[in-house]
Amino acid sequence: MRGMGLAAFALGLACCASAAAKGPGAVAVAAGVAADVHEIRDLRAASNQGIAAHSAAEAVAPFAEDAVFVFGGGGSAVGRKAMAAAFASDFADPAFVTYVRAPTRIRISDTGARAVEHGTWTGLWRQAAGETRYRGDYTANWAHTPSGWRVRGELYVTLQCEGPRCKP
């Protein structure tokens, strides 16, 4: 037990020496990365809330004006207006309930100018014939702009479908 304590102490010293060698900014960079990840998670949550409220404007709020969106089935939309129209079309379907995107990993670039978000998504429709759930993975490309983080592009891949709307 005592040997493990000394090993942990030595590892801690090595860690601190490494951070000190990088200079006082090393801690600030780590804090900045954490703040960026938190901001991206908050923007994703707000977009999810917009979808749940069936508000196209809120759903696309974090997107750049020229963002590219590739749907789970392979179709695409270019631009914030086209994406808002696609959401509005889904919202007009009385069976549509929501899409939920759940980030599993967000990584900020070394320069802090870009980020990548990986996660899973679910789409839910309810109708008399039963519920349909689409599920899959997604990746989002974020850019840090003067107005904050903005999505430059998203790629969704449908991996599962359960329910009456599923096609063989």
pTM confidence score: 0.80
Backbone region of residue 112 per phi and psi (left: phi > 0; alpha: psi in -120 to 50; beta: other values): left
All structural domains of the chain, each given as residue ranges with its CATH number in brackets, are 27-162 (3.10.450.50)
| Per-residue confidence (pLDDT) for residue 16, from 0 to 100 | 37
Per residue of the chain (168 residues), give pLDDT as tens: 334 333 332 333 333 333 333 444 333 445 678 999 999 999 999 999 999 999 999 999 999 999 999 999 999 999 999 999 999 999 999 999 999 999 999 999 999 999 999 999 999 999 999 999 999 999 999 999 999 999 999 999 999 999 999 987
pLDDT value, residue 13: 32
Q: Provide long-range contacts, Cβ within 8 A and 24+ apart, for 54-62.
A: 54/91, 54/96, 56/84, 56/85, 56/87, 56/88, 56/91, 57/84, 59/83, 59/84, 59/87, 60/84, 60/87, 62/149, 62/150, 62/151
Residue 93 is predicted with a pLDDT of 97
Q: What is the pLDDT of residue 89?
A: 97
Give long-range contacts, CB 8 A cutoff, 24+ apart: 66-75: 67/150, 67/151, 67/152, 67/153, 67/154, 68/152, 68/153, 68/154, 69/153, 69/154, 70/153, 70/154, 70/155, 70/156, 71/156, 72/121, 72/123, 72/134, 72/136, 72/156, 72/157, 72/158, 73/158
**Nearest one of 95, 111, 103, 110 to 151, comparing CA atoms:** 103
Q: Which residues contact 164 (CB under 8 A, 6 or more apart)?
A: 127, 129, 130, 132
